[in-house]
A and B are shown apart, each in its own frame.
Chain A
């Protein structure tokens, strides 16, 4: 090999440099993408309590009780010998309906869906009734509401014994 060509890269060396460079570039890109992906997840995750103790059966009077609405988003409804934990999320588009004691109905402020105290939809665009949460008694006799389990009327799940308490 002459002196002149020795100073330049030969084909073999060019490819080894190229592969090192290419691997470094790919690694940098992958690292950046990984960091961007990690960035899209929160550092602190706020998870609201999914179950809570809701006092005793004697605490509730006949009708709709709003004491857990602001804390947990649950209406306790006692009627026809049953106590149920009703979700306060409208089944139309997820707004929060208001309880209207004078009209005896839940009414959504977003598109005007209306529900009876039982949670059955009767006016406006809501396609299905409000959902019930799992409700049960603890060994101490207090009521426990579990929001991780939903019972839907149109699927016939309101007959499930976990969806109500007989009182």
Chain B
């Protein structure tokens, strides 16, 4: 059983599992967003967590002072996600029945004074937060280490817990990409949300049906691409940044074969059976063409001829296509011309390019796992790798 969990926890398997679980959660959010589900899931979670904690290796991981915030994070994010879905499910049922959302009921629209109603709540939150931090500070010592030494690094060398998602990204990308471009675009994208998303629905109340695209896209980035990577980086990365299952002893000498190959080598050496060309640009041409094609997807989606094909797939009655959400996804794509008409080209391109660049992370991760692909474009001579 422990071996099975160790086996499944490897990112190669746990990333698709997380994606499927996320997909099921969003598809059946009306089942997830009930109090009954919360009780059952919560009880099961604590029973399994208790059983996991009996294992000495897992116990070491979760009681490491650096990792306690992650345990708190898992609990609080789990609860808050359920709470959101619960509120959404409640409101969506009312909207379907033609009623107004709960937040719009007259008794909830009543206005109160900031003093004392809000100020007292804030005061209480400040006191409780301080008390919690003091208790934490007394119970657990700060994980301090010896003075810094420029010629030695701790093994594993881990970033602060909130940056472990970024550190996990760095395994798959060049530093300028995972350290500068992608985090920068995360910030720019978050700032751009109010300018891109002009849908007035969901303003001041919880709803999922009225803004499916926005909610599921944001939650995918937040839960799967950010928190899942933090959890992997914290709990499952040991010495030498090698993967270790939750019940696995952190053996310094664990050997994992991970010989990585650039796309240019795949194409020229394995594909065409010849040496790498001396000219850098010709050497990396396959990767450059692939990248340009990938970046052309948002432009291609605006063509009318494709639109008709998407429409026909979207309206197919095939059961498989409908259950796996392929048909609804194509229906969504077929709606792009209408979307552009409503929002304009600039908004469309900003939105779709942000989405396409966000999708680069899972795409690159999957390519690394499946083909040990190191870089699509590898120009170390110019410090440029993708």
Contacts and interface: CB of A to CB of B under 8 A. Distances in A.
Interface of A: 69-73, 88, 91-93, 95-98, 100, 102-103, 107-112, 114, 122-125, 127-128, 154-155
A112 B173 contact: no
A103 B380 contact: no
Contact of A70 (B152, B153, B241, B381): B152
A124 B151 contact: no
A100 B253 contact: yes
A109 B260 contact: no
B385 A127 contact: yes
B240 interface: yes
A154 B381 contact: yes
Q: Most chain-A CB neighbours within 10 Å: which of B173, B242, B374?
A: B374
B171 interface: yes
Nearest to B237: A112
Interface string B156-183: 1100000000010011111100010000
A110 B174 contact: no
B259 interface: yes
Contact of A109 (B153, B259, B385): B153
B260 A127 contact: no
A92 B260 contact: no
Interface residues of B, number: 33
Given A109-B156, A111-B167, A112-B240, 17 more contacts: A69-B151, A72-B151, A91-B380, A92-B174, A93-B179, A96-B150, A96-B152, A96-B153, A110-B153, A110-B241, A112-B171, A122-B260, A125-B260, A127-B375, A127-B385, A128-B380, A155-B381
B239 A109 contact: yes
Contacts of A92: 170, 174-175
A30 B342 CA distance: 53
Contacts of A114: 258
B255 interface: yes
Nearest to A112: B241
Contacts of A72: 151
* Nearest 5 pairs of A and B residues by beta carbon: A112-B241, A128-B380, A109-B155, A96-B153, A123-B258
B156 A103 contact: no
B153 A111 contact: no
B378 interface: yes
Given A108-B240, A111-B241, A125-B171, A95 B157 contact: yes
Contacts of B150: 73, 96
Contacts of B374: 125, 127
Contact of A125 (B153, B170, B240): B170
Given A123-B258, A123-B260, A127-B385, A111 B171 contact: yes
Contacts of B253: 100, 102-103
A90 to B, nearest CB: 9
14 contacts: A70-B152, A88-B151, A93-B175, A95-B153, A96-B151, A98-B155, A103-B255, A109-B239, A110-B157, A110-B241, A112-B258, A127-B383, A154-B380, A155-B381
Contact of B171 (A69, A71, A102, A124): A124
Contacts of B255: 103
Contacts of B241: 108-112, 124
B154 interface: yes
A73 B385 CA distance: 26
Contacts of A102: 253
Nearest to A113: B241
Nearest to B368: A125
Contact of B242 (A95, A98, A112, A128): A112
A127 B155 contact: no
A88 B174 CA distance: 19
Given A102-B253, A107-B240, A112-B240, A125 B380 contact: no
Nearest to A48: B150
Contact of B259 (A93, A108, A123, A127): A123
A73 B149 CA distance: 11
